[in-house]
Amino acid sequence: MYRERPSRLDGAVLWTWTGERLGGVGVLPDGCMDLMWSEGRLLVAGPDTRTHVPGNPAAGHVGLRFAPGDAPGVLGVPAHELRDQRVELAALWPAARVRRLTERLSEAPDQAAALEELAVRAAADTPGPDPLLRAVVQALNAGRTVAAAADAAGLGVRRLHRRSLDAFGYGPKTLARILRLRRALALVRAGLPYAEAAVAAGCADQAHLAREMRALAGTTLSAYTASAKSWTALPSGSSTTA
């Protein structure tokens, strides 16, 4: 079962997943990065450009999904360096520090809460989220163009592209496509017909949405909808190990 709740860390989500497979549903790209505890290891899930198919959840996984653009500042690594990857936290932080954190989580009675505390403390030692990039995410998620989002944030398009690579792992056009697809799929899961969901989310038509589904999710709308019906709580952006 997959469950999530808002984290104490601003904009983040704390999630747990155990006990059953996702079937045909993978974890769709979302512009986010995750800090995860899986089978005694601390891992980082980089930003995805395609659907990630998770492995067996029987052992249980917990994770903290940062808001788009926030993780690089906390983890100390540009997002594009981890694009489409799952890496050990020890590859990013000093090994001795990660060993201490791993021991602490191993002994914790509530590993989800312990992971959240780890992230909260790490974030406290950083300057915090970039308000300009948060404004960009908000504008793109509202369906505004990249040029309009850049202008609203007071950034040129080229400068926004460079900053987006570091913050999100890809350029703002890719992020806009990913956010639009997720808006459309949320409407589909809510019961809206494909054509209406496509237009409401900002696609030209149903065919446009179908092409984006193939390109970003690697599946069809009908296959996704059939798989989603078997889930009571679909992951909205979590990532697990392969």
Could you read off the pLDDT of 78-120 as tens digits, one per residue? 999 999 999 999 999 999 999 999 999 999 999 999 999 999 9
* 3-state secondary structure at position 127: coil
pLDDT at residue 3, rounded to an integer: 87
- Output the average pLDDT for the chain: 89
Per-residue pLDDT of 169-191, as tens digits, reads 999 999 999 999 999 999 999 99
| Nearest-angstrom CA–CA distance, 185 and 142 | 15
Into how many domains does the chain fold?
1
pLDDT at residue 141, rounded to an integer: 95
Terminal-to-terminal C-alpha distance of the chain:
17
The pTM of the full predicted model, rounded to 2 decimals, is 0.88
Identify the top-confidence range among 16-25, 178-187, 216-225. Answer: 178-187
* 3-state secondary structure at position 53: coil
Q: Which domain does 216 fall in, by range?
A: 1-242
Q: What is the CATH number of the domain that holds 121?
A: 1.10.10.60
> Does residue 208 contact residue 198 with C-beta atoms inside 8 Å?
yes
Residues 16-24, mean pLDDT to the nearest whole number: 65
Torsion over CA of 26, 32, 33 and 38, rounded to 10 degrees?
-40
Give percent of the chain with pLDDT exceeding 90: 74
